[in-house]
A and B are shown apart, each in its own frame.
Chain A
């Protein structure tokens, strides 16, 4: 009761204090950045909104890379009580847009010129029917390799440039008794590796037609078989205890020098930095050999729900805060990703971050920026998960490469 009184007093004071504003609203934000650094980084947004007189009602739901949040969202929308803004990935945003549930941010987007600064491949997920529906926070990229420099130096291994060099390097590491490839056996982690491997095995045209266009010919092509064969090669360089391991424990193996390489998205960088490691000196970051020049991305966005005209102003303010270069820089330095707009100065970023920003800008220009299959930016959830099923079954030895190719095409046809 007391709290309520205090709150209403506070609200009253704000309203009186700032005559210019009609009324101070609240935004309710559903997200799964619920702990540690990323949650703290998100708080920057809250503080920013506070200066604009907008309150932040936090609605965190962690688990499974947003799976639980997704369930909660379905329940909330069904109850007729959607949150103001929701953290979302890729096709999920478009799915909700098709349901007619999302708000229109065109006014603020036009005012701030988002069309010019947000990479085009990203706009496909932030716009629907010519309307801006969400504000991208970051761009993660999945085709990265993380390596322990000391391990490589001790064994006389140079940073591998091609797939064959990579395999040779792993062979050498394995022979030395260390783990060549640190990996956590969860379907999404296997799919994350698959992203980079497919790009390296088949090139960008293959990637696009197989995973984005779901072209049956590409799905059953020799390149697909080659991809699965390469996954089997990777499997042979993983330690015995890989299955079920969390990705950050796999990163820890590289950090502690127990393993040489990890193929993982750029969120892994946070683990390295947190352990006090310096890019270039203690660890290396480079693209999955054979996929250099391409960037496979996924982007966290805050989609705005249609919750009435009164919230529209607050939503515009929230979106504008998210898109501000200062927040984009501050947040992404912490998160390990790169800003979702290409005009943010890279001064605060470490070497890997700078590299990532330059490569994103270049790939955007050359048309080599593609959505990540593993992270829901190539196809819808049903197809994504159907692919997971096959990739993880093959990686765990249930299928050989040829069977996996057939199963993949079959699974996609059921899920489509």
Chain B
């Protein structure tokens, strides 16, 4: 009798510990490899590290230098332009395509993978093709001229005021199909009963979307936002492949800045300080969002 009780007791205790035990490897990995490294980077940003980490304390000198660099302000404003346009265009195109594709379209099975596939390719792969397409000398502009449309011009990539928009174009190409898939999934989950009722009341399609369907896609909007925000902040390959940060330094963004100061220019301290600023910005945007999202469900 006593042994059964003890065993049962042991079993329940195991059952209560087990879930936490299962989480612990993940927790340990994340604490060390993410938060530990973030602390390390914060520390580095206050040191005189150049080629390799070194530990001479210099206070805020790196931050002071960082904000004196015109290069950095260019990178930050580029990221602001880029991510605003990229996120909003992706969401608009993704939503539009999803709504269109949801109208019992023949050949959906063919169109969907065509929209999705760019997400599968890295810019090491597609960079050269994009660079060619955008190059007025050999790309789209030249082709249009050869086809007889002589007044066609598309030379943004060569123009330091417009080059950042070509980056947006290529980035939208890569992810808008993925965003489409997220919205399409959302649309397919919508309850048709409510729509039918509204239809009987004489609501137009436009009204149906505006008043009933799109509001129900809120979770999809939020997921899309998180994924797009994460991709826009990490955009690195894309810029290296398309413009290498040029013309001049016109398309430099914080990710390329951080890499070049840390590794190419041997100014690791400045690189670390730029990373800290970036992380703080991400935190400022993400923490309120995560807080709101997670609290709601409790």
**Interface set of A (CB-CB < 8 Å, partner B):** 64, 67, 70-71, 74, 77-78, 95-96, 99, 185-187, 239-245, 380-382, 385-386, 389, 392-393, 395-398, 414-415
Residues of chain B lying within 8 A (CB to CB) of residue A414: 65, 68-69
The answer to whether B263 and A74 touch across the interface, beta carbons within 8 angstroms, is yes
Name A's interface SS.
helix
Nearest-CB residue, chain B, relative to A67: B264
Nearest-CB residue, chain A, relative to B137: A241
Set A95, A185, A397: member contacting B51, Cβ < 8 A: A95
CA distance A388 to B127 in the complex (A): 24
The answer to whether B131 and A74 touch across the interface, beta carbons within 8 angstroms, is no
Apart from A243-B157, A381-B265, A381-B266, list 13 A-B contacts with CB within 8 A. A71-B263, A78-B52, A99-B51, A185-B246, A185-B247, A187-B244, A241-B136, A244-B242, A244-B247, A382-B265, A382-B267, A396-B246, A397-B160
Set A70, A77, A389: member contacting B71, Cβ < 8 A: A389
Contact A396 to B160, CB < 8 A, known contacts A95-B51, A187-B246, A244-B243:
yes
- B7 interface residue per 8 A CB criterion: no
CA distance A327 to B265 in the complex (A): 32
The answer to whether A240 and B51 touch across the interface, beta carbons within 8 angstroms, is no
Nearest chain B CB to A188 CB, angstrom units: 9
Contact A243 to B247, CB < 8 A, known contacts A67-B263, A71-B263, A381-B264:
yes
Residues of chain B lying within 8 A (CB to CB) of residue A393: 248-249
The answer to whether A385 and B155 touch across the interface, beta carbons within 8 angstroms, is no
Nearest chain A CB to B50 CB, angstrom units: 8
The answer to whether A244 and B246 touch across the interface, beta carbons within 8 angstroms, is yes
Contact A244 to B157, CB < 8 A, known contacts A70-B263, A382-B267, A415-B267:
yes
Nearest chain B CB to A78 CB, angstrom units: 7
Residues of chain A lying within 8 A (CB to CB) of residue B247: 185, 243-244, 396
- B250 interface residue per 8 A CB criterion: yes
The answer to whether B158 and A380 touch across the interface, beta carbons within 8 angstroms, is no
Residues of chain B lying within 8 A (CB to CB) of residue A395: 248
Q: Pull 15 A–B residue pairs with CB atoms less than 8 Å apart, ordered by A.
A: A64-B240, A70-B264, A74-B263, A77-B52, A95-B51, A187-B245, A239-B137, A243-B157, A243-B246, A244-B243, A385-B260, A385-B264, A395-B248, A396-B247, A414-B65
The answer to whether B263 and A380 touch across the interface, beta carbons within 8 angstroms, is no
CA distance A77 to B52 in the complex (A): 9
The answer to whether A244 and B266 touch across the interface, beta carbons within 8 angstroms, is no
Nearest-CB residue, chain A, relative to B259: A71
Nearest-CB residue, chain A, relative to B54: A99
Fill in one digit per residue for B150-173: 1 if any A CB lies within 8 Å of its CB, else 0: 000001011010000000000000
Nearest chain A CB to B150 CB, angstrom units: 16
The 8 nearest A-B residue pairs measured at CB: A396-B248, A243-B247, A241-B137, A71-B263, A385-B265, A381-B266, A243-B158, A392-B248
Nearest chain B CB to A254 CB, angstrom units: 15
The answer to whether A99 and B246 touch across the interface, beta carbons within 8 angstroms, is no
Fill in one digit per residue for B60-82: 1 if any A CB lies within 8 Å of its CB, else 0: 00000100110100000000000
Residues of chain A lying within 8 A (CB to CB) of residue B248: 187, 392-393, 395-396, 398
Nearest chain B CB to A225 CB, angstrom units: 19
Residues of chain A lying within 8 A (CB to CB) of residue B259: 71
Residues of chain B lying within 8 A (CB to CB) of residue A77: 52
Residues of chain A lying within 8 A (CB to CB) of residue B243: 244
The answer to whether A244 and B135 touch across the interface, beta carbons within 8 angstroms, is yes
The answer to whether B51 and A241 touch across the interface, beta carbons within 8 angstroms, is no
CA distance A186 to B243 in the complex (A): 9
The answer to whether B69 and A392 touch across the interface, beta carbons within 8 angstroms, is no
Residues of chain A lying within 8 A (CB to CB) of residue B155: 240-241
Residues of chain A lying within 8 A (CB to CB) of residue B53: 78
Name B's interface SS.
loop
Residues of chain A lying within 8 A (CB to CB) of residue B260: 385
Residues of chain A lying within 8 A (CB to CB) of residue B69: 414
Which residues of B from 251 to 266 have beta carbons under 8 Å from A?
A: 259-260, 263-266
The answer to whether B249 and A392 touch across the interface, beta carbons within 8 angstroms, is yes
Residues of chain A lying within 8 A (CB to CB) of residue B135: 241, 244-245
Nearest chain A CB to B92 CB, angstrom units: 28
CA distance A244 to B50 in the complex (A): 29
CA distance A71 to B263 in the complex (A): 6
Nearest chain B CB to A305 CB, angstrom units: 14
The answer to whether A74 and B158 touch across the interface, beta carbons within 8 angstroms, is no
The answer to whether B158 and A241 touch across the interface, beta carbons within 8 angstroms, is yes
Nearest chain A CB to B182 CB, angstrom units: 33
Nearest-CB residue, chain B, relative to A388: B249
CA distance A393 to B250 in the complex (A): 9
Fill in one digit per residue for B255-281: 1 if any A CB lies within 8 Å of its CB, else 0: 000011001111100000000000000
Nearest-CB residue, chain A, relative to B266: A381
CA distance A395 to B136 in the complex (A): 20
Residues of chain A lying within 8 A (CB to CB) of residue B68: 414
Nearest chain A CB to B220 CB, angstrom units: 37
CA distance A186 to B137 in the complex (A): 17
Nearest chain A CB to B40 CB, angstrom units: 12
CA distance A380 to B264 in the complex (A): 11
Contact A392 to B246, CB < 8 A, known contacts A244-B131, A244-B158, A415-B267:
yes
Nearest chain A CB to B129 CB, angstrom units: 14
Set A67, A240, A392, A398: member contacting B158, Cβ < 8 A: A240
Nearest chain B CB to A30 CB, angstrom units: 14
Nearest-CB residue, chain B, relative to A185: B247
Contact A380 to B136, CB < 8 A, known contacts A99-B51, A392-B246:
no
Nearest chain A CB to B44 CB, angstrom units: 13
CA distance A71 to B69 in the complex (A): 23
Residues of chain A lying within 8 A (CB to CB) of residue B264: 64, 67, 70-71, 381, 385
Residues of chain A lying within 8 A (CB to CB) of residue B160: 243, 396-398
Residues of chain B lying within 8 A (CB to CB) of residue A245: 135
Nearest chain B CB to A400 CB, angstrom units: 14
The answer to whether B131 and A380 touch across the interface, beta carbons within 8 angstroms, is no
Residues of chain A lying within 8 A (CB to CB) of residue B65: 414
CA distance A389 to B247 in the complex (A): 11
Nearest chain B CB to A251 CB, angstrom units: 15
Nearest-CB residue, chain A, relative to B134: A244
The answer to whether A99 and B158 touch across the interface, beta carbons within 8 angstroms, is no
Most buried by A among B158, B250, B260: B158
